[in-house]
Each structure stands twice: as C-alpha cells, then as structure tokens.
Chains A and B, each alone.
Chain A
C-alpha cells in the first residue's frame, strides 16, 4: 500500500518538476559581445576543449541571475570550457608542476607569474590573436613581472585593506597596529597564508615585503607571535561569516571582497592603513602544457571583450584593468549602489594616497627558494608554538586519567584470571 502512495508521489513530482523549474527560470539577460569579437572566425576550433584554471568565484558564472560567461563562449565559438578552481597561487603552482594535468588557461597573481616565467612554465602570447588587449589601461601594462607584456594579460586588480566593524571599533583605525590592539583581544582575524600575513607585519615594521634577508623575516615573525594571543582565528574564506555576523571586529582582506561583506552587514567599514599595503594583479597566462594555444588566445581575447569584462567586474567586484569597463556609466552606477565609496576604494590612486612611497615595492615578488623555505618554517613555527598558559593541558590530564584507569582494570582482570586458574 505504502509503495503505491510512494509511486504516486514520485509521479506527481516528476510531472510538477518541469513546471516548477520553468517558473523559477530567471529572465534571459541581454548579452552579446562586441561586433569585433563576434566577427572572428571561430569555425576551425569547433569541438576543441579548453581547460581553464582560475580562482574560486572569479568569473561571472550564471549564479544569481548573472551571465554565464563560459557558456556564452561555447555558444559563440563552439569551444567547450572545462573550468576548475584553485584557492591559492601555491596550490595552482603545485598542480602545474606535480599534477600531471595540462591546462590551457591559468590566472595566477603577479609574483607567481614571475616564478612561472622564470621556470619557463608559461608560453609567450601571440598578441595578434588578442586584439582586445587595446582596452587594457596603461598603468597595468609593462608591470615588473612581465615587462614586455609578452606572457600575461591583466584580468583583475586588487589591494589589501583593513576591514573593521564600526559597532565594536569606534575610532576609525588608520594603521595595521589596530590588529595588535589588545582591546580587541579574541576579535581579531588574520590571514591564513604566510605571504599575506607576513606582509602586514612587514609593512608595520617598515620592512620590505620582498626582503631576502632571513633576519627581517624573523623580525616579522616575532611581530606575528606578539599578535597571536589576540587572534581569534587564522582565516581565508571563513572571514565572510565571521565579519558579517559581528563575531570578529577587525580583519585584513582584499578590497573587492569587502563589498560582499558590507552587503550583509552595513556596519562594516574599510580603510587602507597608512604604513602601506599589498597591491596585486591577477593576469591570464597560457601554461606551456597547453594543447590548443590559439584557441586559448581566443578565450583570452573573449575575456578582454568590454562586455565580458563588464559582466565579470559586476560579479567579482575587484577593480578591472579594462578601460571600457571603468568608463562605463552603468558600471559606475553599480559601484555607487554597492557602497558610496566603492569607486574610491577599488580604483584608489595608490601613488597619490601613499605619497612619497615606492609603490612598486607594494607588489609581491617571487622569493628565492631559500627564503621561501625560511618563510615556510617560520610560518609553521608560528602556528606550532604554544603560548605561556596553554589551554590544552586538560586534554593531557584526561588522557592520563583514562590510561591509568584502563591499566588498573587490566591488572585487576589479570589477577582475577590468575587466581581463578590457580585456586
């Protein structure tokens, strides 16, 4: 009997499903690329598959009613996209070197591109296949990691700043030292990756973030050790939840991500600390393992298309290096709605803001292997070292009590067994 009800239920659901789904489907968004991009002859690449390896949530993917950029590309060109994510430059690097997978497109950050070029893991681009490069703003051309723009095309730009909850932090902080303020004990979050975390300590101590001097790194590590007792947690993406809910008061993070937190908690505010901050450029490269270089270049060209870049800028909320995006009226309105200061935060002129500072030294550079090892072991010892009054003692006491109890039981049972057999 119950089986029959169950099958009726399933049938009803099966009938309702398409009806419900069609109701839920959002309206088609008007989207088309520029005529120039559309006029390219894509026919000979039909059926080709490109492996694209990008940061998580770093493209307009069709969620929340946005345009699905990759699906549109397939519709335009017939080229399939196999899209995967990484969570850090180092993860991506390990995958490229040890993973045995071949990718056609990767989008790493500046210092990692410098490393990849040095190790010949990326190939030179044929810019004649990427005419949309002309939209790239001058200030993002010829950057230190790729002085001739031969290997990479800028995709997205950002800076690290200090996010704070105005309900808890009443006076506007202007320095990284706010993250060392004992008044906010247990409410401070810190980056859970060595490069960014050390960077902040280095800016605060006035050390170059790309120093190759081991002593400087140790100094920065001591600074981080001082901070550790006040830190609630070392986080990456977990920051959203903790800042939005007000569980934490202060956290350093990337400017673009501040807006999505602000959307959920308007009490949050953002500041670029006076000591300086890290600037990063994520650029598109083609790894040397590519099997379809020309198709990959067409994909880069497509991503540089003003309409595509605009959709991505809506989604990612980082600064776009595309001049057509920055001058787009609708985009400026969108930023204004996002946060009154959004344009200033994203497109802050760093040279003006940090007057007299060497802005070039605000970019991360590739470190020598020796220094990387030092940084990693310092980072590990920072995590491992326990503070004076460690909270873990009771765990050991508990273990000792249980083990003692088990031993006593074991001995008693042995004695009983012995007696039983010998009496």
Chain B
C-alpha cells in the first residue's frame, strides 16, 4: 500500500523533475562546462584569470552597488505602501494590489524603452520642467536614471511579498500588543516588522537578484562612462568570436556565485533577527 502510493507520488513528481533537469540543471552544467574550457574545448581557467586583468572585476562591484541602492530604495518605498494597502478594506486592497502589479503586465524592455522616451532631453518630463522654469536638467544618461529604472521596473516584486505577509498577520497579535500598552508606532516596530521579515527577505531577493544581472536598463538610461555586468555578458554572447561564449559563461558563473554569497549573508542576518524576535 505504502509502496504503491510512493510510485504514484513519483509519477506525479516526474514532470517537475524532468523540467528542472532540462531547464535548470542542464543549462547550469553547460554554463559551468563553457566557463572552464577554452575555444577548443580544452580545460582552462584563463577565462577567470582574465576577468581580473581587463577591468571586469570593477564592473562586478559597480553592479552590486547599483543593485544594492535600488533594493534599498525599493524597500523604503514598498514597505509603507504594502502596509497601507494591507490596512485598507478587502475590496480596495484588491484594486490597489492590482494597480501596483499593473506595470508588470508589460514587458520590462518595453517599459525601459518608454522610460527613456519620457526622460529624454527633449522628452515629456524635460518639456514640463522647462515650462515651469527649470531648464537644462539632464534626466537621462545619468547614474540616477539607471537606479530609477531599476526601482521602477522591480518595485512590484518588493510590494507583493511584503503585502501578502503583512495581510496574513493575525489581528489578535496586534490587539494583544495594543492591550499590553504599545502605541501605534511601537506596534509597527515591534510586532508587524519582525513578523513581516520573511516577506522583506523574499522581496529583497526578488529585487536584488534581477537588479544585479539586469541588462538594457543601463544601456538605455545610463551614461557611457560605465556599464553593468549584464551588458558585458550580453556583448560576449552577441559576438561571433569563438571564445566569447566561454568568457560570457565564466562571468555568468562568477555572478551567480556572488549573488549566492550575498543571499547567504542576508539570510544569516535575517535568521538571527527572527530567532531573537527583535528588530532594532
């Protein structure tokens, strides 16, 4: 009886396992294989040593810094927003959540392209600004525009997990805190925030990871004096030179490891905090 059930279970799981092998494990293996071979498919670690010589390493730190900034700003904007959405009544809540998801209905390349159109020197925003007397502001082709692009594109990924966690917090817990003498501010700080930590952590992950590896945003909105790592990877995979796939794979692999380290560090911090039950 027990055995029979486990066969059925395995059969049910089979499509998922097949999926992950085909589309997660196999591509990863290919990336690793390409990263450790040269153009003639002989084992080589030159792809990695090269990264430290030609300035790619600085691009890594820059990309991490940009993603970090974007994530912080997203968190600062999204947390209060998610909190107020979850305070609203059920019907408004649905509308507000839908509204915050609305931009995601359109592809991010299109959104970025539209953004570059709006922020262009002769674009809508600058026309309005010069109409009210603020002239010569350069919005596009600045690092600030790149961060704005990231925040704009990835904000919904921060709002949604935080909102879903906050809205599931037991009302009784909040009432208990109030009964025990917490004012509204303390309720947020000492009850809601620690309880919503899982939402914050997954929000940070979901914004940070795509921000680090993003491409196109810095190409479209950024100035020419820096590139981000996603664009570097893109140029490698777009060139016809035989070794370019190998170099691109090496960069992707290093990027994956870096992201993994960042996530591990963050999870450690958050685990500590939630175990202790205090934030600040």
Contact = CB atoms under 8 A, between A and B. Distances in A.
Interface string A186-204: 1000001010000000000
Contacts of A410: 269
Contacts, number: 128
Interface stretch (A6-14, A42-50, A314-322, A369-377): A369-377
Contacts of B68: 399, 402
B123 A247 contact: yes
B66 A383 contact: no
Interface in A79-104: 88-91, 93-94, 98
Nearest to B55: A384
Given A394-B143, A409-B280, A417-B276, A383 B235 contact: yes
Contacts of A94: 237-238, 240
Contact of A395 (B54, B65, B225): B65
Given A391-B142, A392-B143, A402-B72, A372 B280 contact: no
Contacts of A112: 240
Interface stretch (A144-152, A229-237, A290-298): A229-237
B227 interface: yes
B141 interface: yes
A247 B121 contact: yes
Interface string B11-42: 00000000000000000000000000001000
Contacts of B279: 413
Interface residues of A, number: 53
A328 interface: no
A39 B65 CA distance: 66
A384 B54 contact: yes
A376 B225 contact: no
Contact of A384 (B113, B142, B232, B269): B232
B44 interface: no
A119 to B, nearest CB: 11
Contacts of B239: 90, 194, 372, 376, 379
A2 interface: no
B59 A384 contact: yes
Contact of A412 (B65, B236, B237, B280): B280
A221 interface: no
B133 to A, nearest CB: 21
Nearest to A87: B238
A245 B238 contact: no
B142, B223, B232: most-surrounded residue (chain A CB, <10 A): B223
Interface string A341-377: 0000000000000000000000000000100110111
A177 interface: no
A391 B232 contact: no
A231, A238, A383 — most chain B CB neighbours (10 Å) = A383
Contacts of B113: 238
Contact of A377 (B54, B123, B278, B280): B54
Interface in B91-146: 113, 116-117, 120-123, 138, 141-143
Contacts of A386: 58, 225-226
A372 B143 CA distance: 31
B117 A241 contact: yes
Given A88-B238, A247-B120, A399-B65, A413 B278 contact: yes
B55 A416 contact: no
Interface in B188-242: 219-220, 223-227, 231-232, 235-242
B244 interface: yes
B226 A238 contact: no
A323 interface: no
Contacts of B69: 395, 398-399, 402
A211 interface: no
Contact of B227 (A91, A384, A396): A384
Nearest to A115: B240
A246 B69 CA distance: 32
Given A234-B219, A380-B235, A394-B143, A90 B240 contact: yes
A392 B68 CA distance: 13
8 contacts: A90-B239, A98-B245, A247-B122, A372-B241, A380-B235, A384-B58, A391-B225, A416-B278
Interface of B: 39, 54-56, 58-59, 62, 65-66, 68-69, 72, 113, 116-117, 120-123, 138, 141-143, 147, 219-220, 223-227, 231-232, 235-245, 269, 273, 276, 278-280
Given A233-B220, A379-B235, 18 more contacts: A90-B239, A90-B240, A112-B240, A115-B240, A192-B219, A241-B117, A242-B120, A245-B120, A372-B242, A376-B235, A377-B54, A383-B227, A391-B226, A392-B62, A395-B69, A395-B143, A396-B65, A398-B69
